[in-house]
Amino acid sequence: MPPTAPPPTTTTVRPRPVPAARRHPAPRGTGGHPPARERVRTALAYAGPALLGYLAVRLFGTLVLAKWAHVQHHGLWPVLAKSWDSNWYLDIADHGYEHALHAGELNDLAFFPLYPVLVKAVAAVTPGSRASVALVLAVGFSLVAACGVFAVGDRLHGRRTGTWLTVLWAALPVGVVQWMGYTESLFTALTAWALYCALTRRWLWAGSLAALAGLTRPTGIAIAAAVSLAALAALVRGRRWEWRPVAGGLVAPLGWFAYVAWVGLRVHRWDGYFAVQKLWDNQWDGGVGTLRDMRGLLVYANRPPLFLVLVTAVLIVAGALYLLSLADRQPLVLLVFTGVLLLVVLGSGGVYFPRARFLVPGFPLLLPLALMLARARRTVTALVLGAATLSSAWLGAYMLLVWNGPP
């Protein structure tokens, strides 16, 4: 008789936990997918801790600012809605752009059009002043930006890292500008979601959002370059023709180039936009001016202004974080975006004080810190985030109420 085969061994297989979304499937919409409202609700619930953390940091900073403003007999609303660059955007929304350049006079053509256009359009159909609308839009876009920041962090390293990345972005030393009538919130929202779309290979969306970002700030060239190069790299890696990366890469820089070309036509000069920047004493010099200002503050100044010391520290730390990002081998689209952003900000020879604000959209630079916090003990994480929140609140109020200049 042939030998009897041994009985099959049985192994106990533990069932994997089923996500709540699968245990209770959402109602199906068209195409077998949950309705859009249900998908949004699920996404917001998933990002809930990050959004709550963001709101907690920014609300605390606003309360500190309100108390400080009250002590100095200032109103909170004018400080946030009608100060410095906010007035330039409101004037564009009210009267449009200048038609010519005048030697020795600052010109509003230096400010890109998307934000004032949105302010004018929304104010036309809602009650309240354009200044109030501008402030509400900035706060609203900051929440959209926070969702985008979380989405990028979660996509790369998981929910915990995405949450700490969002809180760190809220607690930037100049994070107060996220809730001012400035373009930082709108630009970061467009940039964050453009980066997320590039990471998930939604090239048409990435290119379109990058084009809108290019209509928002001069540094829109950074996200345009990032999306275009990432799309090209994806096409090369795929080794076959795909029209979506090509289209997304071509669309990405259109917003920035369109505005620069429009300014040239408006002032009848091919270099019109760069002539406008020259009136603002803002020209690219490869970083010579930045190094000169740093040396003057850190070496020769007896009592350098606190705010300018803060700006210098932010620039130095940003450079170090970019080196860490390179060491961490972040995705190409993030490295190109933050690299070009740093190149533009550090390489410009113009005014020094707004450089820290110009880096607010560069949230991928915070990824190395967010990863460290995600791996650290809870006590360490709480201490670091608590210190960042307190310093952001104090520095924000100092910047707006003590520093005698624009943020």
Whether the per-residue pLDDT at 25 is higher than 50: the answer is: no
Residue with the bigger pLDDT between 345 and 40: it is 345
- Quick one: pLDDT at residue 11? 38
Query: 3-class DSSP state for residue 281?
Result: coil
The confidence band for 112, taking pLDDT boundaries of 50, 70 and 90, is very high
DSSP letter string, 205-270: HHHHHHHHHHTT-TTHHHHHHHHHHHHHHHHHHHTS--HHHHHHHHHTTHHHHHHHHHHHHHHT-T
Q: Write out pLDDT tens, residues 252-272.
A: 999 999 999 999 999 999 999
Mean pLDDT of 368-395: 96
What are the tokens at 288? 């010579």
Q: Write out pLDDT tens, residues 56-74.
A: 999 999 999 999 999 998 9
Mean pLDDT of 338-367: 94
- Quick one: pLDDT at residue 1? 40
Whether the per-residue pLDDT at 19 is higher than 80: the answer is: no
Q: Write out pLDDT tens, residues 26-38.
A: 444 545 567 778 8
- Quick one: pLDDT at residue 281? 85
- Quick one: pLDDT at residue 301? 86
Q: What is the mean pLDDT of the chain?
A: 90
What distance in Å separates the CA atoms of residue 269 and residue 14, rounded to the nearest whole number? 72
Residue with the bigger pLDDT between 209 and 289: it is 209
- Quick one: pLDDT at residue 238? 82
Please tell me what DSSP assigns to residue 284: B
What distance in Å separates the CA atoms of residue 265 and residue 130, rounded to the nearest whole number? 28
Whether the per-residue pLDDT at 105 is higher than 90: the answer is: no
Contacts of 169 by beta carbon, 8 Å cutoff, 6+ apart: 54, 145, 146, 149, 175, 188, 363, 366
Residue with the bigger pLDDT between 167 and 83: it is 167
Q: Write out pLDDT tens, residues 305-341.
A: 999 999 999 999 999 999 999 999 999 999 999 999 9
**Which residues, listed in sequence order, are joined to residue 284 by a DSSP beta bridge?**
348
Q: Write out pLDDT tens, residues 382-407.
A: 999 999 999 999 999 999 999 988 88
Whether the per-residue pLDDT at 366 is higher than 50: the answer is: yes
Whether the per-residue pLDDT at 48 is higher than 60: the answer is: yes
- Quick one: pLDDT at residue 31? 52
> In terms of pTM, does the model score above 0.75?
yes
The neighbour count for residue 105, using CB atoms within 10 Å, is 8
C-beta of residue 333 within 8 angstroms of C-beta of residue 227: yes
Mean pLDDT of 152-164: 97
